[in-house]
Structure 1
Amino acid sequence: MKVLLISINAKYIHTNNAVRLLKVNSSFDTEIMEYTIKDDIKNIAEEINNKNPDVVACSMYIWNVNNFKELFKELELKNAKLVLGGPEVSYDPTYFLTNTKADFVIKGEGEIAFEELLKAITSNKDYKNISSLSYKDNGNIINNPIKEITDLSVIKLPYYIKEDIEHIPNKISYIESSRGCPYKCSYCLSSLEKTVRFFNTDEVKKAILYLMEKGSKTIKFLDRTFNANKNTLDLLDYIIENNNHKTVFQFEITGDVLDPKIIEHLNKKAPKGLFRFEIGIQSINEQTNLLVDRFQNTEKLFNNIKLIQKGNIIDLHLDLIAGLPLEDLKSFINTFDNVFNLKTKELQLGFLKMLRGTKIRFESDKYGYEFNKNAPYEIISNNALTNNEIKEIHLVEHMLELYHNKGYFRQNMLDIIISKESPYQFFLDIGNHFIINNYKMKGYQIEDIYKYVFDLLNGEEIYLLKQDYLVRSKIKPKIFFENIISKEERNLILTKLSQQQNIPLNKLYKHSVLIKKDFEYFVALYQNHISQTYKVYINKTP
């Protein structure tokens, strides 16, 4: 029996663990066929059709469900069975069995159910005893109950597939140390899992070491709450002890329950940049959090974030969700400003998605939700936010990406934003400035992003951003701004710098850029793809 496992990833660098888990836990001959959402659907269908498979199994998520729906129209299945799995189909199997060519839907974990299904297909046995399976039977849809895998040690791990070895250095590696989540946030699919279960810690360590040895640059843990594991510190210490100075590790952390002693331990012991923590704050509106079943100690959360920031060892990525119940624009701006002022490296502003199966989707009428009926089911409006207000937040989100998250700027830009009365309003002002002047939001040059914001800044702020622009470059950059420095001034400053720093004058003339503000001159010197900066003062003590 020929079994194809189909994955359509959001990006090439992503690795689909689900199809790999099915492969390594199956006794049948299976082949993984992996694509991205940018690949042509007809080409994918042609490749699948040419294989003449007996079973086609598809791993479905909100980012690829529309691609798969188009793919199903092109597939010539003949007598092949179509099996769907993944979070997108697990909580609404009836819809997918009714509206697609699917013969089966596996709900939740599929490692055991998929193997049992393949055995039943080959032996012509019925499917009534296969847990977590939904299927068609004489025009009826049968939904067998979901059964979680209580003992994760029975699962073979997906990290050691021979064909993957050459691709490991060029893709993100994903590892699980646990499944399930102890929290029940009503917008999250993880809230539908009943229990938190853990993989054997020694096996997790073995996988970490293997992926590092094979050249993985980024290892991301899929645990919904990594610090729910009692072995959290043991795993972090293991990574530190085996640090190869080439691999970084990412974790989703529940910030308010993170033990400050762990933070202090990592601040002392971990090398800078080895760890990245992703913390979902979502909202600091207490009433809103209670309505979505989040019980968050914001004071403790902020204290832990500040402790992480103080150490300057762990990279922090924070998440917010716009569109949660009863959080109006005023409340959301308050959430945004307070969280942005924590000064983390990245702040992701997302919009509520009404995922199939979630409590918030079932309660959508209660809060007046209008949302897109196609994936990713994003909010259009609710009782607290109009559609125009949602559009305004989208504009702020785009400016947040350009002027903070993408890393086009250095510390000076962050300091400028923090100095404003409202970071939200500042990003909104930039966005409106883009619209009024018809500036490009895509297809821009980096210098454009700097230039566009100058009109909203004072002279001192512009001078600081010019420094950011020079510092971010590794080679002598193109100067897009007016930079009036006379030949005499240039000679004076570079001669003085040459004498102070013992740098050959000819190097300074050839490889440096000068800018000035009053009596201060900022000099950036570019050599060997490294920028070094200096300040020189004339007629004034700094």
Structure 2
Amino acid sequence: MKVVISTLNAKYIHTCLALRCLKAYAEPDYQLEMAEYTIKDPAMNIVTSLFEKEPDVIGFSCYIWNIEETIQVVSMLKKIRPELTIVLGGPEVSYDTKYWMERVPEVDFIVMGEGEESFKHLLQEIEGEQKYHFLFGTAYRKDGEVVISPPRPKFNLNEMNSPYRFAEDLSELGKRITYFETSRGCPFSCQFCLSSIETGVRYFDMEKIKEDLLYLIDNGAKMIKFVDRTFNIKRDYALEIFDFLIKNHKGCQFQFEITADIMRPEVLDFLNKNAPKGLFRFEIGVQSTNDATNELVKRRQNFKKLQRTVTMVKEGGKIDQHLDLIAGLPEEDYTRFKQTFNDVFEMRPEELQLGFLKMLRGTGLRLRAEDHGYVYMDHAPYEMLKNNILSFSDISRIKRVEDVLEKYWNDHRMDHTIEYLVEHTFSTPFDFFQDFGDYWEKQGWSRIGHQLEDLFLRLHEFLLDIDTEHLSVIEGLMKYDYFLHQKHKPRKVWWEHTLSKKEHSSLLKSLAHAPSLAGPSFESLQASEKELHKHSVTELLDFSLSHYLQTGTFLKEPEYLIVYYHTQTKEKQVFHLPLSSAKIVEA
């Protein structure tokens, strides 16, 4: 019996841990072939690839991001191979299972919940006596009717063979994200999350975890993402793994989902002291800072302790943080969500993800949708469209905030500029992103592409249009940010140069003859006038950028900005020269 297990990942760089767990448990009794695609792949290409594998049984792992594309593939496969046995599994079909069996008649079986034991047992029955009424955690058809069996008891994690050691994965370890689990389950009951349905947390054996991590690291893994819902729920357990990775990482990076308000200060002190910069990345779900909203969705959160954790991590300078918000939670209207956004942005996370509530099948919030007047998409991803206090118009406006936030904050293309705007120009950070987002939509820019220069030009146009105060200062910061994000000396800029070609040449000539004027670091370049012309850019700002970067305050003292680009290392050095030294231009 030829068995293929497949899924459609969101991106090529992603991998599906579920397939590997099924394969690890089924072997050696059944040899499962894994076949991964992406939701961007044409359905015909996927069907052709799977058809050529000549499977007898094919199983698909289903999620909100791939269910509709998977259904299309399943329908085509069944038309060309009616005898093919098709099995679905995964979180998207584990709830409202009868609906899926009726909606997709081409599907023969659905495996609900944890699939390792159920899928292997199903294969045994398909190959054997086909007594499907003996199966737990499975839906099947009998005499034209859908039969849903009782759930299977929780899987003993210690019976799992390693899902991380397949030979076919080795060549891709350095190119794709490896998903890794040390536990299953979640101790919390957040009503918008599928993890709330399963009670209790179970852990894999620590020694097996370490052995598998070492195997992945030694074989070239570059990014390992831990999928544990609350990685730090057990302090000593998390600390042991952190310590192990610090000692054995070999350049691999690791991402964790943590609950920030229960993170102990001593753990953070340990990480700030011992973790190499960039080794770890934390994903923290804040979702809302409104206590009333959190209570309605059964989410326990101490925001002050969360702030303490985020602040300690940020001050440590070792770990990037990705903070999540959800717009559309119960009883959080537009104004209150604005406060949530500002509360969280105040902490200046490296990345702030603004998402929108998805009414996931099986969650308490979906079951009680009428209580809050939720209207949402009929098909995945089931995103909410409005509720009793948040209109569709409000949602549309917040989506504009999300768009500009992604382009101008999360991508860190102009950090100095955005920091100035949210601190000195607009009433709150949210107001900047909202006003700019509304302007962006009005100009029709959301329907066309953009290059890096376009982002600067569009922000500049917006600031001009609203008659922004201190625009010359903002322009200076924008120029500085633009230079910082070039790997090579830029061939063009988006503004008119403040120095003429003659002034630029005179400045570089003077610096070549008297490099100490720009400081010891510039002098150490030992660059000739020709090299300066080839590798450097200059601008005259009407304020002291160096003073602002050091103190956060402005000094109305014009200053030359000089950036030198190293061709070999792709690094750049920034130098500042007060205009009070302007006599050198005439030298």
Band of TM-score, shorter chain:
over 0.9
User: Which residue in the other structure is 2:573 paired with?
Assistant: 532
2:67/2:92 contact within 8 Å kept = yes
Larger CA deviation: 204-213 vs 323-332: 204-213
Find out whether 1:54 has 2:52 as its counterpart: no
Alignment partner of 2:281: what SS?
strand
* Pairwise CA distance, 1:151: 2.4
Q: Which amino acid in 2 is paired with 1:480? A: W
* Pairwise CA distance, 1:492: 4.6
* Pairwise CA distance, 1:262: 0.6
CA distance change for structure 1 residues 296 and 103 in 2, over 3 Å: closer, same or farther? same
User: Which residue in the other structure is 1:461 paired with?
Assistant: 474
Alignment partner of 1:25: what SS?
helix
Kindly provide the CA deviation profile for residues 442-496 of structure 1, in whole angstroms up to 9, marking residues without a partner as x.
5211011011111315210111111011011110112121112134532453345
User: Which residue in the other structure is 2:160 paired with?
Assistant: 155
Return the match for 1:520 from 550, 553, 559.
559
CA distance change for structure 1 residues 497 and 282 in 2, over 3 Å: closer, same or farther? farther
Paired with 1:433 and 1:465, the residues of 2 have a C-alpha distance of 19
Q: Which amino acid in 2 is paired with 1:41? A: A
User: Which residue in the other structure is 2:46 paired with?
Assistant: 44
CA distance change for structure 1 residues 121 and 436 in 2, over 3 Å: closer, same or farther? closer
Find out whether 1:322 has 2:336 as its counterpart: no
Kindly provide the CA deviation profile for residues 268-316 of structure 1, in whole angstroms up to 9, marking residues without a partner as x.
1111111000000000000000111101001111111111111111100
TM-score by length of 1: 0.96
Paired with 1:288 and 1:206, the residues of 2 have a C-alpha distance of 42
Larger CA deviation: 179-188 vs 44-53: 44-53
Find out whether 1:251 has 2:265 as its counterpart: no
1:497/1:536 contact within 8 Å kept = no
User: Which residue in the other structure is 1:262 paired with?
Assistant: 267
Return the match for 1:313 from 318, 324, 346.
318
User: Which residue in the other structure is 1:21 paired with?
Assistant: 21
Number of equivalences: 540
Q: Which amino acid in 2 is paired with 1:391? A: S
Kindly provide the CA deviation profile for residues 163-184 of structure 1, in whole angstroms up to 9, marking residues without a partner as x.
1111111100111000010111
User: Which residue in the other structure is 1:476 paired with?
Assistant: 489
Find out whether 1:146 has 2:146 as its counterpart: no
Mark the structure with the bigger radius of gyration. 2
Q: Which amino acid in 2 is paired with 1:223? A: D
Paired with 1:385 and 1:232, the residues of 2 have a C-alpha distance of 39
User: Which residue in the other structure is 1:135 paired with?
Assistant: 140
Return the match for 1:391 from 367, 373, 396.
396
Kindly provide the CA deviation profile for residues 206-258 of structure 1, in whole angstroms up to 9, marking residues without a partner as x.
121111122111110010010024410000000001131x2110000001011
Gaps of 5+ in 2: 517-521, 543-557, 583-587
Find out whether 1:88 has 2:112 as its counterpart: no
Identity fraction in percent:
40
Find out whether 1:241 has 2:247 as its counterpart: yes
User: Which residue in the other structure is 1:74 paired with?
Assistant: 76
Q: Which amino acid in 2 is paired with 1:536? A: L
Return the match for 2:369 from 360, 364, 388.
364
Q: Which amino acid in 1 is paired with 2:508? A: L
Return the match for 2:503 from 470, 489, 494.
489
Find out whether 1:226 has 2:222 as its counterpart: no
Return the match for 2:207 from 180, 202, 210.
202
Return the match for 1:511 from 535, 559, 573.
535
* Pairwise CA distance, 1:21: 1.2
1:341/1:418 contact within 8 Å kept = no
Paired with 2:139 and 2:199, the residues of 1 have a C-alpha distance of 19
1:493/1:536 contact within 8 Å kept = no
Paired with 2:414 and 2:296, the residues of 1 have a C-alpha distance of 37
Q: Which amino acid in 2 is paired with 1:34? A: E
Kindly provide the CA deviation profile for residues 401-441 of structure 1, in whole angstroms up to 9, marking residues without a partner as x.
01011232234433433443211110111122223333355
Paired with 2:174 and 2:311, the residues of 1 have a C-alpha distance of 33
User: Which residue in the other structure is 2:294 paired with?
Assistant: 289
TM-score by length of 2: 0.89
CA distance change for structure 1 residues 441 and 532 in 2, over 3 Å: closer, same or farther? farther
Paired with 2:144 and 2:157, the residues of 1 have a C-alpha distance of 35
Alignment partner of 2:30: what SS?
coil
User: Which residue in the other structure is 1:11 paired with?
Assistant: 11
Gaps of 5+ in 1: none
CA distance change for structure 1 residues 473 and 282 in 2, over 3 Å: closer, same or farther? same
Alignment partner of 2:257: what SS?
strand
1:404/1:414 contact within 8 Å kept = no
CA distance change for structure 1 residues 165 and 442 in 2, over 3 Å: closer, same or farther? farther
Alignment partner of 2:577: what SS?
strand
Larger CA deviation: 321-330 vs 415-424: 415-424
The two structures, once aligned, show a CA RMSD in angstroms of 1.6
Kindly provide the CA deviation profile for residues 102-122 of structure 1, in whole angstroms up to 9, marking residues without a partner as x.
111111111111111111111
Return the match for 1:99 from 98, 103, 113.
103
Paired with 1:411 and 1:315, the residues of 2 have a C-alpha distance of 18
Q: How does 1:395-410 map to 2 (within 5 A)?
A: 395-410=400-415
Larger CA deviation: 47-56 vs 291-300: 47-56
Paired with 2:176 and 2:391, the residues of 1 have a C-alpha distance of 40
CA distance change for structure 1 residues 487 and 354 in 2, over 3 Å: closer, same or farther? same
Q: How does 1:433-448 map to 2 (within 5 A)?
A: 433-439=439-445, 442-448=448-454
1:2/1:54 contact within 8 Å kept = yes
CA distance change for structure 1 residues 136 and 219 in 2, over 3 Å: closer, same or farther? same
Paired with 1:44 and 1:463, the residues of 2 have a C-alpha distance of 51
Would you identify which runs of 4 or more consecutive aligned residues in structure 1 move more than 6 Å?
A: none
